[in-house]
Amino acid sequence: MDLLGGTGGPVRVAGRELGRGELFGRASAVAAEIRGAGAAAVHATASLETVVAVVGGLLAGVPVVPLPPDSGPDERAHILADSGAGLLLAARGTGTGAGTGGPPLVPVDDLPPAGPHAEEAVPGDATALILYTSGTTGPPKGVPISRRAIAAGLDALAEAWAWTPGDVLVHGLPLFHVHGLVLGVLGPLRVGSPLVHTGRPKPEAYAAAAHDHAGTLFFGVPTVWSRTVADPSSAEALRGARLLVSGSAPLPVPVFERLAELTGHRPVERYGMTETLITISARADGDRRPGWVGTPLRDVETRLVGDDGGTVPPDGETPGELHVRGPQLFKGYLGRPGDTARSFAPGGWFRTGDIACADADGRHRIVGRASTDLIKSGGYRIGAGEVENALLAHPGVREAAVVGTPHADLGEQVTAYVVADGVGERQLIDFVAGRLSVHKRPRVVHLVGSLPRNAMGKVVKTRLGED
């Protein structure tokens, strides 16, 4: 099935630009070089070479395995071996480690452009990408994403966000995750809109793209938007945009409100996972409330399941584990039937492991991960995100992360790690107790210099408290 659009505006990455015809010509040369391979890894830097390599794999019908360019040798070796990638696509001389026991290098920048090449007649259920999870609970797991799943997910998002060829997408996100690669590269290719990738997601780069390229649609993770609101002149440059989208982690309520104040746009939040792509989102023409990620996309179903296995009522307050099903879901982990079986409930429902609330109108609020963000303290179920937002409302707090830690009497206690200026532990505990129910206040606050984060800006809670 066809996944990519053949026409549309140019692709610009870190100041270098290819027209759509030239992009597909170069990608066709890659396709001719790798056709028939079982899988091909891509050294996924923020570069035109990465875009050319990914498009070449899709044209050839060869599953593409994006490799984080900063991955350590053990992670890189695991992904290459687990995926079975027999080739590595990259620009020559980019420090990929090729020739040191890994697959042979195909230097995409050395291949002469070929004539336009149509996509191979590949079935829709064929694998387009093999993405890898973050590996927080063990070695990263391979997630094969089919061509049909990507097409369904992108078409549903285009409908929800009123995304058309007339938009100009701007972002600076990594090109090895769902957000930056699937939404941020394959999205504009499928829709037909130009792409301006800023190289890095700096506020001043977004402001420049708004001015120089008339950007209309901006993607960012919460860290990007937090830095943007700290730079009012760059934020105000985004007033001419049509839509600001935040994802990959919860957007703190104070950042949402400040972004709306400075840009005139209430950001769109959405929810997804590597295994599911995007399944829930606020709409361009709908209500956007801080802390809420919107309603299920077209053809997506959701349900919330309680500890007893029963369905949780959609009252906007009662949390339950979020289960989803829809056409953009993966079918199972690569070579891990046991993990696959544990991840699906009868009826094709994927157990996300995230805790959410839903209201009667189908709007969803993500409380956090069941493993780290649902705190069971003294008989209460407390969402870490709610406490984090309360802490962030204090003017002296710059960052906050909340977890449950063992407590002899309560089972778990609410423990906070906070980056703050001019405020102490007792003041922060009392501040939260004055805004939320008393049982939700942190029992312990650790004042720290920074929070551990991964490449997408998510706090790695398993590393909190490390020296």
Identity at 435, one-letter amino acid code = R
Average of per-residue pLDDT values in the chain: 91
Burial of residue 268 (CB within 10 Å: 0-12, 13-18, 19+) is buried
Closest CA to 457 of 222, 269, 256, 235: 222
pLDDT digits (tens, 9 = 90+) for 170-190: 999 999 989 999 999 999 999
Interval 214-223 mean pLDDT: 94
Residue type, 115: G
- CA distance to 311, 376, 442, 443, 463, per residue, from 412 (Å): 25, 6, 11, 10, 18
Backbone angles phi, psi at 152, to 5 degrees: -65, -45
Tens of pLDDT along 411-448?
789 999 999 999 999 999 999 988 887 888 999 999 99
Query: What is the structure's pLDDT at 439?
Result: 82
Structure tokens at 431: 């501040």
Between these two residues, 458 and 165, which has the higher pLDDT value?
165
Q: Helices (H) and strands (E) in the chain — how many of each?
A: 12, 25
Write down the pLDDT at residue 136. 52
Reported CATH class of domain 18-122: alpha beta
pLDDT exceeds 90 at position 192? yes
Residue 10, helix vs strand vs coil: coil
pLDDT band at 410 (very low <50, low <70, confident <90, very high): confident
Pairwise CA distance, residues 424 & 265, whole Å? 34
Q: In the prediction, which pLDDT does 161 show?
A: 98
CB 167 within 8 A of CB 158: no
Percent of the chain with pLDDT over 90: 71
What average pLDDT does range 115-136 have in this prediction? 79
Phi and psi torsions of 207, nearest 5°: -65, -40
Predicted pLDDT of residue 323: 97
Query: CA dist 323 to 142, 177, 217, 269, 304, Å?
Result: 20, 22, 29, 19, 6
Q: What is the CATH number of domain 374-463?
A: 3.30.300.30
Residue with the larger pLDDT of the pair 335 and 389: 335
pLDDT at 27: 95
User: Residue 116 is encoded by which pair of tokens?
Assistant: 């336009």
Opening angle at CA 61, ends 59 and 65, nearest 5: 100
Measuring CA to CA, which residue among 21, 17, 4, 324 is closest to residue 188? 4
For 119-165, give the secondary structure using H, E and C.
Answer: CCCCCCCCEEEEEECCCCCCCCCEEEEEHHHHHHHHHHHHHHHCCCC
The set of residues, in sequence order, having a beta carbon less than 8 Å from that of 211 and lying 6+ positions away, is: 237
CA distance 54 to 7: 17
CATH number of 185-369: 3.40.50.12780
pLDDT of residue 462: 84
CA 179/CA 278 separation, integer angstroms = 9
DSSP type of residue 421: S
Q: What would the pLDDT profile of 43-102 be if each residue is shown by its tens digit?
A: 999 999 999 999 999 999 999 999 988 887 878 899 999 999 999 999 987 766 554 567
Give me the mean pLDDT over the 343-352 stretch.
96
Predicted structure pTM score: 0.84
Confidence of residue 118 (pLDDT cuts 50, 70, 90): low
As annotated, the residues of the chain forming the CATH 3.30.300.30 domain(s) are: 374-463
What pLDDT score does 223 carry? 84
Give the residue ranges of DSSP H helices in 10-132: 20-34, 48-60, 73-83
Delimiting residues of CATH 3.40.50.980 domain(s) in the chain: 18-122
Q: What pLDDT does residue 373 have?
A: 74
> pLDDT digit string (tens) for 238-267?
999 999 999 987 888 888 999 999 999 999
Q: What is the mean pLDDT of residues 360-387?
A: 81
β-bridge mates for residue 320, sequence order: 356
| Dihedral angle of Cα 117, 122, 124, 129, to the nearest 10 degrees | -70
Q: What's the distance, CA 153 to chain centroid? A: 14
Task: State how far the Cα of 429 lies from the Cα of 416, in Å rounded to an integer.
Answer: 9
The contacts of residue 33 (CB under 8 Å, 6+ apart) are: 56, 106, 111
Q: Beta strand 40-43 with 87-90: parallel, antiparallel or unpaired? A: parallel
